[in-house]
Structure 1
C-alpha cells in the first residue's frame, strides 16, 4: 500500500481589480482640464479623508508630482495616483463625470461605500478585505 501524503494545494490568489477606473466621460474631462493647465501635472490624485456628517470625503485633485508610495493606475490615457492609505477604501471604484441642467461634477461609484449623507458630500466606506490588496 502506498503512503499518500495529503498536502493542501497552494491558495490561488484572485487578481485584484484596479483600485480606480474612469468612465470615458471622466477621462475626457480630466484630459481636457490637464491640457488647458498652465503647468504640467503628473496625474490625478485620488484619496479619502475624514470629514463630513457621514465620516469620510473623497479627495480629487491634480498632482504636480507622484509620491513614491502612490498606487499608480493608467486608465484611458490618464494617470491616476491613489494615496496609499486610501487603496483599501477605493478598490473597485469607478469615477464618472456627469452633467445635468444644474451641475457638472465627478461622481464616485464605490462598491465599498456603505452610507452617504443626504447632501452627497460625505460617505461611509468600509475597507475592502486585505487579501484583495495582494496581487
Structure 2
C-alpha cells in the first residue's frame, strides 16, 4: 500500500486479491429413492433434468410443480445429487432452501414428497401447502 500526499488528502493505492468463494450448500437434497426416480424419469430424454417449482393453487395456497427442464434459465439453480439432476426454478429457490425431496410408493400412490423446513401448513389431502420464503438474517 502506498500513500501519496495530495493537498490535505491521502491517495491510497490498494490492490485486492480475490479470495475463493466458499461452496454454497445445495438448495435441496435428494434421498436415494428420489434420485433413482429422477434418473429413471430423465433417462433417454433430451432434458437437462427434472424441473421443480412452486405455483399458487390448492386449498392451502401453493403447490409443488414438476416438469422436464429442456433449458436452464439464468435464475434457475441446478442441483446434482446422487447422480440425479434437478433444476430449481429461480422464483422457487427461497421457498425450497433446506428441503429434502423423497420418493414414496404406497398402496394408493407413488409420488415425490418434500420435507421442507419452510412449509408452515398443508391441506388435508396433502396436495397443497403453505410455504414461507426464507428470510435473510
TM-score, length of structure 1 as denominator length: 0.79
Unaligned runs of 5+ in 1: 1-13
- Give the number of the structure whose residues are more often strand, by fraction: 2
SS for the counterpart of 2:39 is: helix
Higher RCO structure (Cα 8 Å, ≥6 apart): 1
Instruction: Kindly indicate whether residue 29 of structure 2 is the aligned counterpart of residue 21 of structure 1.
Output: yes
User: Which aligned runs of 4 or more in structure 1 are off by greater than 4 angstroms?
Assistant: none
Tell me how large the CA RMSD over aligned residues is. Answer: 1.7
Aligned pair partner of 1:119 in 99, 107, 125: 125
Partner of 1:45, secondary structure, is strand
Q: In structure 2, how many angstroms separate the alpha carbons of the residues matched to 1:58 and 1:108? A: 9
Out of 105, 110, 113, the residue aligned to residue 99 of structure 1 is 105
Q: Which residue of 1 aligns with 2:11?
A: none
Q: Which of 57, 79, 87 is 1:81 aligned to? A: 87
CA 1:54 to 1:16, structure 2 compared with 1: closer, same or farther past 3 Å?
Answer: farther
Gap regions ≥5 residues in structure 2: 1-21
- Report the more deviating stretch, 88-97 or 73-82: 73-82
Shift of 1:100: 1.0
Task: Tell whether the 8 Å contact from 1:43 to 1:66 is kept in structure 2 after alignment.
Answer: no
Q: How many Å separate the matches in 1 of 2:23 and 2:59?
A: 34
Higher helix share: 1
Q: What is the number of residues matched between the two proteins?
A: 116
- Bigger-Rg structure (1/2): 2
**TM-score, normalization: structure 2?**
0.78
